[in-house]
């Protein structure tokens, strides 16, 4: 069997052979690198529906079967047995750590949790009601102003120390954004706590009284972070890689990733889901919401539904759904929004519109209900996603920059503007 495709331009009769590139799993791709040179044609694929931007060995998704693997390990097994810190190690290094490697990695992350005191001055520049994602974009980017000693993308030691710094400091920044928004003092990281307990402590403790992290909350958070840690070439990861392809420093790349994540079509969906469930408010209004989502004259969409890659259940949504009952039960919380969400899922999954388009609940559908149960405010939901996804972003940036073959990302376009025309002096122009 030939592993190439022949492409013929029927206008000119010219043909060319393009090699087929196969990975280990998943659909192969056509290497169209020489297409323009040989046939004078570009490919046109807005939204990159059929376009692979890179080879990667980090995460695999089979969207039809609902499979997600990090470095070959099924997400279900990692969710059941692993921890976020171990998953971060796995994503970055390619294999699960030995006990000694795990201890060393955790030690390094724990020892980089502090942020420079001057960053507080940046933070204080934000209005109290700034959206925390706006603060995160700015503050994460400003970290690059502090670590000149380790920002050379060509230096492997710099790359690794920056990876550790980001995984360690992003939670400190995230909690500081929240504290700023509620007018409470920033809380320093307590390094005798584990990663998620430390984050909860920075979020919710105050100097005036003791605070004890609820282990159920810390465990739930750890699981959510595992599920959000990576998802191959999604919009924010592709942004990190695109910015990384220019040779920009890794911290700037992560700040760009945070900006890309913010949109409601991507990581901002978890915040949008909770707002939508609140607006629906009651099971009796579910049918109306589904009807609106199907109405092409209404721009309302069921947030937390649908995915570019999954045309089956998002495996993360399955885990989160189960976890949602468990966490609410363990915390003794009855949230009527869970009932609204379940009713919505039930109606949508039986509706022809959703069946035909293969629209299933995605990772964001139930995660907000859990965050709410953990008392994380809704504006912080996407920040939580960013915190977890930092592990994936940095793993991709390391893979890209460690490859020794970084090519600047530079797409082309189909130009549909004015034809070439001559400049007319201002005094000679007519018009309103």
Residues that bind ligand CMC (CB under 6 A): 47, 234, 265-267, 269, 293, 301-308, 357, 359, 362-364
Question: Which of 179, 183, 227 has the alpha carbon at shortest distance from 199?
Answer: 179
CA dihedral 336, 338, 340, 341 (to 10 degrees): 170
Question: Which of 423, 405, 422, 387 has the alpha carbon at shortest distance from 202?
Answer: 387
> Is 201 a known active-site residue?
no
**DSSP labels, 45-101:** -GGGTT------SSEEEETTTTEEEETTEEHHHHHHH--HHHHHHHHHHSSPPPHHH
Residue among 274 and 328 whose Cβ is closer to ligand CMC: 274
Q: Least Å distance between CB 415 and ligand CMC?
A: 24
> Is 364 a known active-site residue?
yes
Residue among 152 and 379 whose Cβ is closer to ligand CMC: 379
Task: Please list, residue by residue across 208-223, b when 16 or more beta carbons sit within 10 angstroms of its beta carbon and e when fewer do.
Answer: eeeeebbeebbbbbbb
**Residues 327, 1: Cα–Cα separation, whole Å:** 52
Q: Least Å distance between CB 301 and ligand CMC?
A: 4
Q: Least Å distance between CB 256 and ligand CMC?
A: 16
Q: Least Å distance between CB 363 and ligand CMC?
A: 5
Q: Least Å distance between CB 392 and ligand CMC?
A: 11
Residue among 89 and 385 whose Cβ is closer to ligand CMC: 385
- 194, 222, 230, 364: the catalytic one is 364
Task: Please enumerate in sequence order all residues whose Cβ is within 8 A of that of 308, keeping only pairs 6 or more positions apart, or say none.
Answer: 47, 49
Measured N-to-C along each axis, helices 250-261 and 381-402 cross at an angle, to the nearest 10 degrees, of 140
**Residues 95, 58: Cα–Cα separation, whole Å:** 10
Q: Least Å distance between CB 223 and ligand CMC?
A: 17
Q: 363 is written with which tokens?
A: 């990772």
**Residues 313, 22: Cα–Cα separation, whole Å:** 26
Residue among 193 and 309 whose Cβ is closer to ligand CMC: 309
Contact indicator for 140, 86 with CB cutoff of 8 Å: no
- 228, 231, 307, 396: the catalytic one is 307
Q: 239 is written with which tokens?
A: 């942004």
Residue among 46 and 99 whose Cβ is closer to ligand CMC: 46
**Residues 164, 334: Cα–Cα separation, whole Å:** 38
Q: Give, for 340, the enclosing helix (H) or strand (E).
A: helix 336-349
Residue among 167 and 363 whose Cβ is closer to ligand CMC: 363
Query: What are the catalytic residues?
Result: 307, 364
């Amino acid at each position: 069997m030939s592993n190439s495709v022949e492409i013929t331009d029927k206008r000119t009769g010219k043909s060319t052979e393009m090699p087929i590139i196969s990975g280990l799993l998943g659909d192969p791709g056509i290497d169209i690198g020489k297409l323009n040179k040989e046939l004078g044609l570009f490919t046109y694929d807005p939204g990159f529906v059929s376009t692979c931007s890179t080879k990667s060995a980090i995460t695999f998704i089979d969207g039809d079967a609902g499979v997600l693997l990090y470095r070959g390990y099924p997400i279900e097994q990692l969710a059941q047995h692993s921890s976020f810190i171990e998953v971060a190690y796995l994503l970055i290094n390619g294999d699960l750590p030995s006990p000694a490697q795990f201890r060393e990695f955790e030690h390094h992350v724990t020892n980089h949790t502090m942020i420079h005191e001057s960053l507080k001055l940046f933070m204080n520049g934000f209005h109290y009601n700034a959206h925390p994602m706006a603060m995160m974009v700015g503050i994460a980017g400003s970290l690059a102003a502090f670590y000149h000693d380790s920002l050379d993308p060509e230096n492997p030691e710099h790359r690794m120390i920056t990876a550790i710094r980001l995984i360690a400091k992003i939670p400190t920044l995230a909690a500081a954004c929240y504290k700023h928004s509620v007018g409470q003092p920033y809380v320093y990281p307590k390094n005798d706590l584990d990663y998620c307990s430390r984050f909860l402590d920075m979020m919710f403790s105050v100097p005036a009284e003791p605070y004890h992290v609820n282990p159920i909350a810390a465990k739930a958070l750890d699981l959510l972070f595992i599920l959000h840690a990576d998802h191959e070439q999604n919009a924010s990861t592709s942004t990190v890689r695109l910015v990384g392809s220019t040779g920009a420093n890794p911290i700037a790349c992560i700040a760009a990733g945070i900006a890309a994540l913010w949109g409601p079509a991507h990581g901002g969906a978890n915040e949008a889901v909770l707002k939508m469930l609140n607006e629906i408010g009651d099971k009796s209004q579910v049918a109306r919401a589904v009807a609106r989502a199907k109405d092409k004259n209404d721009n309302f969409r069921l947030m937390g539904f649908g995915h570019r890659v999954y045309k089956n259940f998002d495996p993360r949504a399955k885990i989160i759904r189960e976890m949602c009952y468990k966490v609410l039960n363990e915390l003794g919380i009855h949230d009527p929004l869970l009932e609204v969400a379940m009713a919505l899922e039930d109606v949508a999954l039986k509706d022809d519109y959703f069946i035909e388009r293969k629209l299933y609940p995605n990772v964001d559908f139930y995660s907000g209900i859990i965050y709410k149960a953990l008392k994380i405010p809704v504006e912080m939901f996407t920040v939580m996603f960013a915190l977890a996804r930092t592990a994936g972003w940095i793993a991709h940036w390391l893979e890209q920059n460690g490859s020794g073959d970084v090519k600047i990302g530079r797409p082309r376009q189909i130009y549909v503007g004015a034809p070439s025309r001559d400049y007319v002096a201002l005094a000679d122009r007519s018009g309103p």
